[in-house]
Structure 1
Amino acid sequence: MYAPRTLLEEPIARVAVRGKLLAPWRRRRFHAFGADSVVHKPIAIYGPWQMALGERVLILHGAWLSVEKVAWERPAPVVRIGNRVGIRPYCTISAAESITIEDDVILSAYSTVIDCDHTIVPGVPNVLQTPLETTPVHIGAGTWIGERCSILRGARIGKGCIIGAGSVVRGQIPDHSVAVGVPARVVKQLPQS
């Protein structure tokens, strides 16, 4: 465990202790909740029985984690988060069909991953009352998503990619690419390790 001085001086130590205390409860609620994983002070967790988190996942405060009601009857899990994934503060992950985030992905603060769009129906006053269009989202291992990115329905990001801050991704980004912009476009290929 941590020494009292460490708890006072290292905020992440307090996050780890709180995570360990809540882990048994989270394991009962989630489809899978890996060893040493922490979900720290989320705004909301909606449909956790449809979410699987790998080992050593760190989801920091302010996260919105949601499996929409239309996906509750799908085979579990609808949201799959691999091992050693880091999700910075105030991120949204919302699935109505399928979101897969592979191992070692970093999702920077204020970013969104969503696999659906609301539709426009004449005569319906509010998009929350219209059907959803869904397409799975997949983020490959070792990818780094920059701050304030939007990963939208149908995005398929390869392994070892970097998505520049503020980018909007819909469609395919090949392995080991740097992509930036709105919409995100590949600007560079990274060396493969």
Structure 2
Amino acid sequence: MNKAQFSRTYRFLRLIGLNYSEKEYGQVSLWQVIKRILKTYKDAFLLKFGMESWLLSPLLPRKIRPAILRSIGCHIGVDVFVGDHVKIDSGHADLIVLEDHVHIAGGCRLLCHQRDLSNYCVGDDYAKLGYRLATIHLKKGCLIGMESIVLPGVTVGEGAIVGAGSLVTKNIPDWTIATGRPAKVIKQIPIRNR
């Protein structure tokens, strides 16, 4: 795509309300945007009607919800539990990794992108800031408690427990309990004496 074509495409995308910055997305073609919109609609349909189907409710947490998340691009292990009303960053689902036996309780949010505020200064336009994209990695057997939010770039360690209502902004080590806003480790899970 030459510079004149890109300029026309970019102006058209801005005109219809799509705010793609060249710095963030590179030279975006109209066809790429159409493909992305169609994928977004398909994923939104699956998330809206598949994740909360009352008809399939006995199978939802361990079978259907993990299968839906897998189908839209998440990396899902075996025997993963996904509670009701869990919201994921569907536009960046490929950045979500849930290992075997992970439990995500109801109402949680997994966000893989956020505005990059590292160079934000007085007088800057917030809408023109780029995004910081980063993987969320939930390791084997961890639990994310109800209504918690996990931000980009976070790894929750193996067997770790995140308390209900927590805001996870930093990594949580293996076999610990963390809670709060922001989440902080409050307890090391002990080794069982045999």
Superposition TM-score tier, normalisation by shorter sequence: 0.5 to 0.7
Shift of the 97–134 alpha-carbon distance from structure 1 to 2, 3 Å rule, reads farther
Kindly report the root-mean-square deviation, in angstroms, between the aligned alpha carbons of the 2 structures: 3.3
Q: Secondary structure at the match of 1:173?
A: coil
How far the C-alpha of 1:132 sits from its partner, in A, is 1.2
Counterpart of 2:29 in structure 1 is none
The 5-angstrom pairing of residues 109-188 of structure 1 reads: 109-119=106-116, 124=125, 126=127, 130-188=129-187
Q: Distance in 2 between matches of 1:88 and 1:136?
A: 21
Counterpart of 2:75 in structure 1 is 80
8 Å Cα contact 2:166-2:182 kept in structure 1: yes
Shift of the 98–111 alpha-carbon distance from structure 1 to 2, 3 Å rule, reads same
Quick check: which has more Rg, 1 or 2? 2
Q: Distance in 2 between matches of 1:156 and 1:184?
A: 13
Q: Distance in 1 between matches of 2:65 and 2:105?
A: 11
Counterpart of 1:103 in structure 2 is 100
Instruction: Please tell me the residue identity of whatever aligns with 1:59.
Output: R
Q: Deviations over 1:152-185 (max 9, x none)?
A: 0111110001100000112211101000001100
Instruction: Please tell me the residue identity of whatever aligns with 2:179.
Output: V
Shift of the 182–66 alpha-carbon distance from structure 1 to 2, 3 Å rule, reads farther
Structure 1 unmatched runs, 5+: 1-40, 46-55, 68-76
TM-score with structure 2 length normalisation?
Answer: 0.57
Counterpart of 2:48 in structure 1 is 43
Q: Distance in 1 between matches of 2:182 and 2:174?
A: 18
8 Å Cα contact 1:66-1:93 kept in structure 2: no
Q: Secondary structure at the match of 1:42?
A: helix
Instruction: Please tell me the residue identity of whatever aligns with 2:111.
Output: I
Residue-pair matches, total? 131
Stretches of 4+ aligned residues off by more than 3 angstroms: 63-67, 119-126
Q: Secondary structure at the match of 1:187?
A: strand
8 Å Cα contact 2:70-2:76 kept in structure 1: no
Q: Secondary structure at the match of 1:43?
A: helix
Q: Distance in 1 between matches of 2:64 and 2:75?
A: 14
How far the C-alpha of 1:114 sits from its partner, in A, is 1.2
